[in-house]
Chain A
């Protein structure tokens, strides 16, 4: 007997079988490729941190090598709270291997998650000093700091996370041993427009930050601005991306907001100790 293909029973059975088969195949592929994908993401993060140091030696390390080279250059890592205090038990040296499951490991801090959960609701509601006040009350936000050593010179790498036009933008800012001069910067993004906002990940943009300081002569915190050329700002600034205004504003905002915390840290005893202890 030929099966009636147009009957409801056949249709339902066919649909059910198809969904089960397709679901199974996708689940299998997803779970078998997951370790490779997560490795890619982790190694890329390591590569970006090493690149942000700004040294020729660490700039050219490929994503594949970054996993192994990371502990060679990043000698210490720690987590700060919003006030710029080191959180207890988070100061780890490169003898402790990176543990992505540990809450005490600076490398494991998921800034994207924290930004979405804690920072974004506040940045939508408050601006300026109000925002700073509100962020101070938010104790859930972590501020990781990576202390690196290249050619016997100390560098600090600071991760930043913010919002572009379409989705998240983030980056890593490298400071020289004085804790105020930028030695390198890298930026990346989730889905900014190719050719416009996406250009922030190019060297020509991030290299503009090198040698700029985050502190003025009197020792006051003055973040590097990202502006349109010719806007006439007096603070240190870099040129934004033409056609990528929202992305440029996002970069400006995240650096301004985040570096302030690290500046506080370097003003404190613990931070000063770190600076002199070269």
Chain B
């Protein structure tokens, strides 16, 4: 009963709860500051639509996983807690994969193996272990939401530049003209940057993002 009493005292979107959402967007961003989940940020950012669906999938798994583990936090035996978390995440990812295959078949084909690889995304296990195991379901859900969006922002930003300069399109729409028919900018000799289609370019883009983010926020700079 004590839980209910505390809940009543604390408004749903208290200052502390709001911080759970806003912090991961900037100060504690899982990708750029904690450098987690980098692998998928490098792999599925060639096209914007794939990056968007991937972000949504991670967001869904993160929120659901956080809530489930948080609800079970007083039952989970300490010895096997990592295995329990893994099973929860794996089950959720399989569900997401099955739902995508049934209802957004085309996108699920594009993402192919990367949906399954959400299981190994360090952000998810990291949040379960660091937050959901010690906090109440509502706070855990907000934490999942914040970190999921924080991850998604990076994916979408990186995908924006990679698709624009790598393929000359955004969400499939031709921005610079048609490369095969040589129209628009291509008629003037512009060429797509092939490097942008390859994973290494994401490293460069993420690094630039971190540079800008840290230079604007002195509290993130490490001392010498």
Contact = CB atoms under 8 A, between A and B. Distances in A.
A165 to B, nearest CB: 13
A6 B91 contact: no
A18 B194 contact: no
Contacts of A36: 102-103
Contacts of B98: 29-30, 33, 37
Contacts of A25: 91, 95
Contacts of B80: 11, 14-15
Interface string A189-212: 011001110000000100000000
A63 B108 CA distance: 15
Given A63-B105, A195-B46, A195-B166, A15 B83 contact: yes
A33 B105 contact: no
Interface string B111-123: 0110000000000
Contacts of B218: none
A26 interface: yes
Contacts of B87: 18-19, 22
B76 interface: yes
Nearest to A19: B87
A11 B82 CA distance: 13
Interface in A87-134: none
B84 interface: yes
Contacts of B198: 243
B167 interface: yes
A215 to B, nearest CB: 27
B187 interface: no
B110 A194 contact: yes
A45 to B, nearest CB: 12
A5 B47 contact: no
A190 B77 contact: no
Contact of B194 (A40, A63, A242): A242
A204 B180 CA distance: 7
Interface in A220-278: 242-243
Contacts of A191: 112-113
Contact of B105 (A40, A204, A243): A40
Given A37-B101, A242-B194, A26 B95 contact: yes
Contacts of A40: 101-102, 105
B11 interface: no
B71 interface: no
Interface size bracket, B side: 20 to 34
Contacts, number: 69
Contacts of A243: 194, 197-198
Interface in A27-73: 29-30, 33, 36-37, 40, 44, 63
Contact of A14 (B75, B99, B166): B75
A195 B167 contact: yes
A25 B91 CA distance: 9
A61 to B, nearest CB: 15
B47 A194 contact: yes
Interface in B78-102: 78-80, 83-84, 87-88, 91, 94-95, 98-99, 101-102
Interface string B169-181: 0000000000010
B50 interface: yes
Contacts of A195: 46-47, 166-167, 197
* A-B interface, 5 closest residue pairs, ranked by CB to CB distance from nearest: A195-B197, A195-B46, A36-B102, A191-B112, A40-B105
28 contacts: A5-B77, A6-B78, A11-B79, A14-B75, A14-B76, A14-B77, A14-B80, A15-B80, A15-B83, A15-B84, A18-B87, A22-B87, A22-B91, A25-B91, A25-B95, A29-B95, A29-B98, A30-B94, A36-B102, A37-B98, A37-B102, A37-B105, A40-B102, A44-B105, A63-B105, A191-B113, A194-B47, A243-B194
Given A18-B84, A30-B94, A204-B180, 17 more contacts: A5-B75, A5-B77, A6-B78, A14-B76, A14-B77, A14-B80, A15-B84, A22-B87, A25-B95, A26-B94, A29-B94, A36-B103, A44-B105, A190-B112, A191-B113, A195-B167, A196-B197
Interface of A: 5-6, 10-11, 14-15, 18-19, 22, 25-26, 29-30, 33, 36-37, 40, 44, 63, 190-191, 194-196, 204, 242-243
